[in-house]
Amino acid sequence: MALIRNVQKVPTCWSIINRFVSNEPISKVPDDAIRKSVFISQSTDIYRNLALEDWFYKNSDLKNHHILLLWRNDPCVVIGRHQNPWLEANVTAAEANSVAVARRNSGGGTVYHDAGNLNLSFFTPKERYNRRYNLDIITRALYREWGLKAHVNEREDIVVHGNFKISGTAAKLGRPNAYHHCTLLVGVNKFALSTTLEKKESGIGFTNATESVRSPIKNLTEVNSHISTDKLLTAVGWEYLRTKALTIEDGGYGLIQCQKGFQMINPTEDWFPSIDKLTEEFRSWDWTYGRTPKFSVVRILQMPSRSGEVHQLNLTLEVCNGIVQQVKLSLPSGLVPKDFDKDASVVTNLQGTRYTPEVAEQVVAALGCKAIIPKLNQNVDKSNVAANQ
């Protein structure tokens, strides 16, 4: 952080917003009238940083003030708005290892964060949303500071050495504001990443959730050992400030002098009114798990008969908003009359409870059956694979 100058403490971000309020239509604001700020969050709590991001999105007047928010988190798994946490991550392992599980407000896939990961959120009016502009700033910063050649692929991921991903990306587009955020893998713990993102929950059947695409990854420290999160934060921040607001054109140090510079910010109630309420919403079970799209969990059961035959039954749990709605058992055709429905509802006190992987096992145990769990494909080196944000 030694390279960062022009650091100001801001007593409240209401003053930041009021400083830049403009009545002009967005299309009438010229490039040279737009000022930029680089804000650096002093929190490493994922829920508070997601709340900070949401606060800027909801409260900022961005007509002539664009914002880059830089933030880092303690170990956590962050799923997209429309994803199923049990399908994307090993939730049980995450909880056992004090790795937070969070749902963000944007779409896209699942990512793992820790101190070796730098997060960037670019805020503009929706009319000026330009994902490629933001990604080009990052690749230019890597080249300017370290001579590192990275490029943006067709999925708009930043990759190095061919197809090794160092950054995933997602966005939230609304009215009047929008943000594009991405991650940069600097020195992330790849063992923790692979363990936490390993798909342990099996038997999830029908689901409307968006599934992540797995991609090969690489830390920037594996490409250049001189890169660190602090140095990268500084390099990207300066590149952002020296680049014109509407075109990927280098304005040099002269443009930097016209900007608002770097500002350390503390995402607390004193600085950002009502941020505590936003934080608790992101931290809540109702948001993280209760927003999961409807899905079913299937277990194949083996039930011995009196004649010694072994019948296979399908146990299905229907889960909606994270709550077990119905438990059904599909009986073999030979065990029921032709005029009867083969699907029988199982009466259990687990209906209406919050779903966890243990719920299905409790039903299996209560039925006194043996469950057959299908094996996942193990042909991938998961130590170098991450979900795609």
For the question of whether the overall pTM of this predicted structure is more than 0.85, the answer is yes
Identify the band that residue 25 occupies on the pLDDT scale cut at 50, 70 and 90.
confident
The region of weakest confidence among 2-11, 18-27, 55-64, 113-122 is 2-11
- With a pLDDT cut of 70, the percent of the chain lying above it is 83
Q: How far is CA 236 from the centre of its chain?
A: 21
pLDDT winner (highest mean) among 2-6, 206-210, 212-216: 212-216
What confidence tens digit (pLDDT) does each residue in 272-325 have? 999 999 999 999 999 999 999 999 998 888 877 667 677 788 888 999 999 999
10 has a pLDDT exceeding 70: no
Q: Indicate the average pLDDT of the chain.
A: 86
19 has a pLDDT exceeding 50: no
pLDDT at 149: 96
How far apart CA 296 and CA 204 sit, in angstroms, is 6
Q: How far is CA 344 from the centre of its chain?
A: 38
Stretch 186-211: mean pLDDT, rounded?
Answer: 86
How far apart CA 359 and CA 249 sit, in angstroms, is 56
Judge if the upstream peptide bond of residue 25 is cis by omega within 30 degrees of 0.
Answer: no
pLDDT at 340: 46
Stretch 237-246: mean pLDDT, rounded?
Answer: 97
pLDDT at 342: 53
Contacts of 386 (CB under 8 A, 6+ apart): 111, 112, 165, 168, 185, 193, 197, 214, 215, 217
pLDDT at 336: 52
What confidence tens digit (pLDDT) does each residue in 339-377 have? 444 555 666 678 899 999 888 888 888 877 777 765 444
Which residue did the predictor score with more confidence, 154 or 144? 144
3-class SS letters over the chain: CCCCCCCEECCCHHHHHHHCCCCCCHHHCCHHHCEEEEEEECCCCHHHHHHHHHHHHHHCCCCCEEEEEEECCCCEEEECCCCCHHHHCCHHHHHHCCCEEEECCCCCCCEEECCCEEEEEEEEEHHHCCHHHHHHHHHHHHHHHHCCCCEECCCCCEEECCCEEEECEEEEECCCEEEEEEEEECCCCHHHHHHHHCCCCCCEEEECCCCCCEEEECCHHHHCCCCCHHHHHHHHHHHHHHECCCCCCECHHHHHCCCCEEEEECCCCCCCCCHHHHHHHHHCHHHHCCCCCCEEEEEEEEEECCCCCEEEEEEEEEEECCEEEEEEEECCHHHCCCCCCCEEECCCCCCCCECCHHHHHHHHHHHCCEEECCCCCCCCCHHHEEECC
What confidence tens digit (pLDDT) does each residue in 129-149 have? 999 999 999 999 999 999 999
Q: What is the CATH topology of the domain spanning 8-288? A: BirA Bifunctional Protein; domain 2 (3.30.930)
How far apart CA 83 and CA 80 sit, in angstroms, is 5
Identify the band that residue 7 occupies on the pLDDT scale cut at 50, 70 and 90.
very low
- Annotated domain spans of the chain: 8-288, 295-372
Which residue did the predictor score with more confidence, 254 or 389? 254
Candidates 79, 75, 76; CA nearest to 322 is 79
The region of weakest confidence among 65-74, 167-176, 195-204 is 195-204
- With a pLDDT cut of 90, the percent of the chain lying above it is 65
pLDDT at 314: 84
What confidence tens digit (pLDDT) does each residue in 70-96 have? 999 999 999 999 999 999 999 999 999
